[in-house]
Amino acid sequence: MAQRLAVFLLVGGVAGFGAVFLELPGVVLAAVVLLVLLGTTRRREDLVRAGGYLLGAGLVGWSLVGPAVKGGGGFLYLNGWTLVTLYAAVALAGCLLLAWLALAGIRGGRAR
């Protein structure tokens, strides 16, 4: 399970990297990848893919954009502080989804 999570953290990181440097087309591409991951989810345990993806994309995007807006700079398609806040929210959503899945697995007796 940990290896699968690491792979989807990396996939999310690549999408977050692309979303930062490709700007609006990168954001659309990252959203399409997330929709594909969610569309192929059959069981609750498969949501680990979506959680890992969200966490990876949020962390990489946040770490790339955060230092750039230290001085209050803006981006072509969105205000810098708004963008940093959105990346932090994406990372937090991924963390919360993974925490919920972990607690559900522990309560269900399926922890490995």
- What are the φ/ψ torsions at residue 31 (nearest 5 degrees)? -65, -40
Q: CA–CA separation, 56 vs 34, rounded Å?
A: 12
Confidence (pLDDT) at 78: 63
Q: What is the pLDDT of residue 111?
A: 47
Beta-bridge partner residues of 9: none
48-95 pLDDT, tens per residue?
888 888 888 888 888 888 777 665 555 555 667 777 888 888 889 889
Read off the pTM: 0.77
Q: Is the pLDDT of residue 34 over 80?
A: yes
d(CA 40, CA 79): 33
pLDDT on residue 110: 52
